C-alpha cells in the first residue's frame, strides 16, 4: 500500500518536472555563435557590443551572415576553424554576429549583403576604411581572403584616438 | 617505419583539427534562450522579431532581463518550468529576450528596468495596454504573478486589426 502510494508520488513528481518538448521533437538550443566560434563571448545586440567596446577599449567586429547563404557558410568554415582568428577575436576584440540588419545605416556603408564584416573603433567610429578585395562589395570576404582578413584585424587593433 | 610515419601523420591531423580553447578553459556555447526556454526559437534582434511577427501574423513577446538580477532569475525559474507558458510561446508567439535595451523608446513606456515584458502586435503596435500588477513598474512580473501573465498572453493573442 505504502509502495503503491510512493509509486504514484514518484509519477506525479516526474510529471510535474517534465520539461516542455515541442511536438516536432526536442530541439538543440540555439547558440549565439551560430557556428562562427563556439568559444567566443558573442554580444547579442549592436547596442550591447558598442557598450562593451567602449568600456573595454577594444575594437568591435560586426559580422552579417545568413544560414542559407553558401558564401556565408564557406567563409564560416574557414573562419571558425582558424585558431589564429579565433584567439585574436577572443582576446582582443568584441564580437557580434547578426543574421539581421540593424537600424544603424553606418553598418552598411555600401549596401546590405552577406557575408559582410565591419570593424568599429571603441570611439564608436565605423572603420569604413578597413575593406576587403571586392570593389562592388567592399566588406565581403571569401575563404581565400583569410590572410587579408587577418591583416585587417591588425589594422582594427590600431585604435583611433582613444578617449581618455 | 611505416607505422612511425603513420603516427606522425595522425598527430599532424590531430593538431590541425584541434579547436581553439581559451586559456581560461573550454566554455559552454552561449545560447539565445539564456535559460528562459531552451526549446523555443528565439529571435536575435528586435528587427528580426518584428519581421517574423508581421510575416507570420503572431504576437511578439519581448522580455528584458539581466543575469545578475535576482528578480529576473526568480521569474526565469517559474517561467522556464511552466509547460503551459512554454507551449503557448512556442506555438503562438514570436519570442525575443534581451539583456540590453534597444534604441526604440516604445519598448520602455514607463522606463527601463528588468524584468520587463512587453507584447507587440503583428501590426507593429506595442501593446502598452497589457500590464502587470505594479503601478510603478507596469510591465514587471514576479513569480506569483504567473497566472496574470498567462491571462495577458491570452490578451496579446487577440490581435488588433490585422492587415490583409
pLDDT in tens, B41-66: 999 999 999 999 999 999 999 999 99
If you search the block for the grid coordinates 516536432, which residue do you land on? Answer: A24
- CA A63, A69, A70, A73 torsion-angle sign: positive
Q: How far is A1 from chain B (nearest CA, A)?
A: 31
Check residue B161 and give its pLDDT: 76
B75, B12 Cβ separation under 8 angstroms: no
Check residue A161 and give its pLDDT: 76
Contacts of A14 (CB under 8 A, 6+ apart): none
Check residue A18 and give its pLDDT: 76
Min mean pLDDT across A4-18, B82-96, B105-119 is at A4-18
Determine whether the interchain pair B20/A90 forms a contact, defined as Cβ–Cβ distance below 8 Å. yes
Closest-approach residue (CA) in chain B for A84 = B20
pLDDT in tens, B3-44: 666 666 655 555 556 789 999 999 999 999 999 999 999 999
A127-163 b/e (C-beta count within 10 Å ≥ 16 → b): beebbbeeeebbbbbbeebeeebeebbeebeeeeeee
> In chain A, which stretches have pLDDT less than 50?
164
CA distance A53 to A7: 56
Determine whether the interchain pair A47/B103 forms a contact, defined as Cβ–Cβ distance below 8 Å. yes
Q: Which residues of B touch A14 (CB under 8 A)?
A: none
Determine whether the interchain pair A22/B29 forms a contact, defined as Cβ–Cβ distance below 8 Å. no
User: pTM to 2 decimals?
Assistant: 0.85
Cell output for A78: 574557414
Check residue A87 and give its pLDDT: 98
Determine whether the interchain pair A30/B33 forms a contact, defined as Cβ–Cβ distance below 8 Å. yes
Determine whether the interchain pair A22/B90 forms a contact, defined as Cβ–Cβ distance below 8 Å. yes
- Closest partner residue to A22 (CB to CB) among B18, B39, B44 is B39
Cell output for B77: 525559474
- Closest partner residue to A45 (CB to CB) among B20, B45, B83 is B45
Check residue A99 and give its pLDDT: 95
CA distance B93 to A76: 30
Amino acid at each position: 500500500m505504502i509502495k503503491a502510494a510512493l509509486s504514484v508520488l514518484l509519477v506525479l513528481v516526474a510529471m510535474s518536472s517534465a520539461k516542455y518538448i515541442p511536438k516536432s521533437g526536442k530541439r538543440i538550443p540555439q547558440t549565439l555563435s551560430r557556428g562562427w566560434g563556439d568559444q567566443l563571448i558573442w554580444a547579442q545586440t549592436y547596442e550591447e557590443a558598442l557598450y562593451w567596446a567602449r568600456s573595454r577599449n577594444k575594437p568591435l567586429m560586426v559580422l552579417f551572415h545568413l544560414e542559407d547563404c553558401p558564401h556565408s557558410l564557406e567563409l564560416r568554415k574557414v573562419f571558425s576553424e582558424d585558431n589564429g582568428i579565433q584567439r585574436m577575436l577572443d582576446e582582443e576584440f568584441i564580437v557580434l554576429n547578426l543574421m539581421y540588419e540593424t537600424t544603424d545605416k553606418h553598418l552598411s556603408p555600401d549596401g546590405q549583403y552577406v557575408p559582410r564584416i565591419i570593424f568599429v573603433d571603441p570611439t564608436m567610429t565605423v572603420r569604413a576604411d578597413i575593406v576587403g578585395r571586392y570593389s562592388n562589395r567592399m566588406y565581403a570576404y571569401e575563404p581565400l581572403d583569410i590572410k587579408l582578413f587577418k591583416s585587417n584585424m591588425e589594422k582594427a587593433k590600431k585604435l583611433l584616438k582613444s578617449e581618455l
